[in-house]
Structure 1
Amino acid sequence: MLLLKTMQKVNPMKAIFFEKFGTRDVLQFGDRPEPAPQQKELLIEVERSSVNYVDIRERQGTYNRPETHVGGIELPHISGLQAVGTVIAAGSKEDKVWIGKKVVAYTPKGGGYAQKVVAETSFCVEIPESANADLFAALPNQGLTAYLLLTASTQIQPGESVLVQGASGGVGSLAVQIAKILGAGTVLGTASTSEKLDFIRSLGADDAIDYTREDWTKRVLENTSGRGVDVLLESIGGNIFEQNFECLAPFGRHIIFGSTRGPGQPFAPRRLMQKSQTMTGFYLPVFLAKPELIQAGMEFLVKATLEEKLRPSIARILPLSQTAEAHRLLEDREIQGTILLDTK
């Protein structure tokens, strides 16, 4: 007796994907199979997604090099670490109550550059139907990074001073605001142009400093009565990494979460002993091993945004088909805040 297998129909969706690593030219816009939610996952019809610098590193193949030690990705790949949209299906019976709800989702496996994406239920937070999708689409990856830098890599104490390098970017602009929400005292931000410095001040920073000036560390010391900052969030690298120690206070915490200018020169760890300072590395995917911290971060970000204490900054909204242009703007550092993708 012949057994006939019924092929399940796979619905196509529009997406941005790449089949090989390289420059922006490898990004393709076309049809991909609609993902299917598994246990404890939701299928979301995406309204807004956004672009992160991580997406560029993925496209370049950085995470697939042995020296990065982060596991890599499989090709073809759809990037996109965050999305806002409506739940249209659930992989678990108990999660069907989510269907029809508007959610903001963190999607660490990617998939956000598409009309539909799958996300773990625990990494989704419901938002009001009337909520501005643009604000929330800018939150998950960059917001979680900023939040966990200040609550897990260290714990800000009331009145402590904070310096955020690259404070006009997606993570930096949120870190400035979150530091204030968490009770920090003096919060300083750096950038490289007058326009970006004005933007940082508009976020509530106590001062904005041009890190391209040779004496930028003196400005930090002036703002902290010569003591230096208690917490320093570093994402630039190069020679800036070395200069950071000129304005880091005794017992100061130096947290590294990026290096847009490259890793710089080797560092002698015993230097930290002189002022009892600490240095901590940060990589958000590592925190997937602690999902309770991810959940707490998502809930904090949504609550603070709904209460208008946190204002995600939207730099540009582009159609999904123009994702390559979004990558260019980010690579060329032409934007302040987050670039969103309209997936409709």
Structure 2
Amino acid sequence: MKAIQYRKFGGPEVLEYVGLPDPEPRAGEVLIETTAIGVNFPDVRERMGVYNRAETQVGGVTLPQVGGLQVVGRVLNAGTEAHDHLVGRKVMALMSKGAYAQRAVARADMLVELEDDTDDVVMASVPCQGVTAFLALQVCTVLRPGESVLVHGAAGGVGNLAVQIAKVLGAATVIGTASSDTRRAFVLSRGADHAIAYDSPHWPESVLSITNGKGVDVILETVGGDVFDENFACLGMLGRCVVIGSTRGPGKPLAPRQLMAKAQTLTGVYLPSFFQRPDLIQRGLRFLKDGIGQGLIRPRVAATLPLSRAADAHAMLERREAQGVIVLDPRY
């Protein structure tokens, strides 16, 4: 089979289009002939060696590595008879590695079956980012109908899906932040009620104005730095702040007593930690499948490139040229 492998850490140029033996599924796993492969920014960070640095506190990568976290394709065979019923079925799968290949192994408890007429490219664009957004809104906290949500970085992959998921869950008011007029227009097109700039000096005041001074019930935090501290000026009574990322760095430590005055909660989500709870992964995948099938969730595919051009896909992500997810076609 053809696959994208890297034998050392570095820039996109370390990604090699090579021939490798087909992987063998073990007990509890299936082998998938891929038809579409989603590209995520964690793939880039993994390739750069970021996760092998002690300060990241993330499990490292063993070289050589075939990266990638999500695929759509058909099951060729199963590692145990218990999963033989999946053979021949189209599936959407989330995995820890190995997606950048014409054939990939996935855990049978971290995939969902798809209808034959499902759009493979669209479905391959959502597992990592969509499940992260779902876990943030339905597991790390539980967004209730009628509540308000502030989504930072709402034009990004996780953010724009979080906006849509919040609306599906019945949020009364969804506010998205983004860095430019174009990106804020995109946030509104995804269903947000308001779009504001998080680099404005008075953005928390805008949130308070929108919520009639109450503040929001839930904040999905992706920016970090000074923005993290400013969140608490517009997080309401019994509000919950869910940390998904920190593009500006972690910022200053938070004094825990700061949460007491309004009985607020601070929590976080890190997708790989949920691989030990595959029931929650599957729940998220089913939610995405159903939402897309009903037209309630509209993923944004920025480009479809041949698998052999995975390096170009990584370069596009690093230059922030992609408004949406890049999907790889394993046929080429």
Q: Give the TM bin, normalised by the shorter chain.
A: over 0.9
Q: Distance in 2 between matches of 1:336 and 1:158?
A: 29
Equivalent residue number for residue 44 of structure 2: 56
Q: Distance in 2 between matches of 1:39 and 1:86?
A: 18
Q: Distance in 1 between matches of 2:11 and 2:230?
A: 32
Equivalent residue number for residue 148 of structure 2: 161
User: Deviations 1:20-61 (Å, cap 9, x if unpaired)?
Assistant: 122222222222221111112111111111111111121122
> Do the aligned residues in 2 keep the contact of 1:146 with 1:172 (CA within 8 Å)?
yes
Distance 1:141 1:98, change over 3 A: same
Equivalent residue number for residue 338 of structure 1: 325
Equivalent residue number for residue 216 of structure 1: 203
Equivalences for residues 308-323 of structure 1 within 5 A: 308-323=295-310
User: Deviations 1:294-331 (Å, cap 9, x if unpaired)?
Assistant: 12111111111111111111111122122222222222
Equivalent residue number for residue 21 of structure 1: 9
Equivalent residue number for residue 290 of structure 1: 277
Equivalent residue number for residue 183 of structure 2: 196
Equivalences for residues 82-97 of structure 1 within 5 A: 82-97=70-85
Equivalent residue number for residue 263 of structure 2: 276
Alignment equivalent of 1:138, drawn from 118, 125, 131: 125
Q: Distance in 2 between matches of 1:171 and 1:263?
A: 19
Q: Distance in 1 between matches of 2:315 and 2:197?
A: 23
Shift of 1:253: 0.7
3-state SS, counterpart of residue 274 of structure 1: coil
3-state SS, counterpart of residue 116 of structure 2: coil
Alignment equivalent of 1:38, drawn from 17, 20, 26: 26
Shift of 1:94: 2.7
> Do the aligned residues in 2 keep the contact of 1:41 with 1:121 (CA within 8 Å)?
yes
Shift of 1:97: 2.0
> Do the aligned residues in 1 keep the contact of 2:225 with 2:246 (CA within 8 Å)?
yes
User: Deviations 1:235-268 (Å, cap 9, x if unpaired)?
Assistant: 1112221221221112111111111121122222
The AA in structure 2 aligned to 1:213 is S
Q: Distance in 2 between matches of 1:125 and 1:309?
A: 19
3-state SS, counterpart of residue 33 of structure 1: coil
> Do the aligned residues in 2 keep the contact of 1:82 with 1:141 (CA within 8 Å)?
yes
3-state SS, counterpart of residue 48 of structure 1: strand
Structure 1 residue ranges (4+ consecutive) displaced by more than 4 angstroms after TM superposition = none
1:99 aligns with 2:74: no
- Root-mean-square deviation over aligned CA pairs: 1.3
Shift of 1:135: 1.4
Q: Distance in 1 between matches of 2:136 and 2:280?
A: 12
User: Deviations 1:104-132 (Å, cap 9, x if unpaired)?
Assistant: 1111x211111111111111211111111
> Do the aligned residues in 1 keep the contact of 2:38 with 2:126 (CA within 8 Å)?
no
Q: Distance in 2 between matches of 1:111 and 1:259?
A: 26
> Do the aligned residues in 2 keep the contact of 1:169 with 1:338 (CA within 8 Å)?
no
Q: How many residues matched? A: 331
3-state SS, counterpart of residue 4 of structure 2: strand
Shift of 1:62: 1.8
Name the stretch that deviates more: 255-264 or 67-76. 67-76
Shift of 1:205: 0.5
Q: Distance in 2 between matches of 1:221 and 1:329?
A: 36
Shift of 1:189: 0.8
Q: Distance in 1 between matches of 2:169 and 2:146?
A: 9
1:67 aligns with 2:59: no
Q: Distance in 1 between matches of 2:11 and 2:221?
A: 26
The AA in structure 1 aligned to 2:170 is G
3-state SS, counterpart of residue 42 of structure 1: strand
The AA in structure 2 aligned to 1:41 is E
Runs of at least 5 residues in structure 1 that lack an aligned partner in the other structure: 1-12
Equivalences for residues 123-272 of structure 1 within 5 A: 123-272=110-259
Larger Rg: 1
3-state SS, counterpart of residue 160 of structure 2: helix
User: Deviations 1:271-305 (Å, cap 9, x if unpaired)?
Assistant: 11222211112111111222211121111111111
Name the stretch that deviates more: 272-281 or 167-176. 272-281
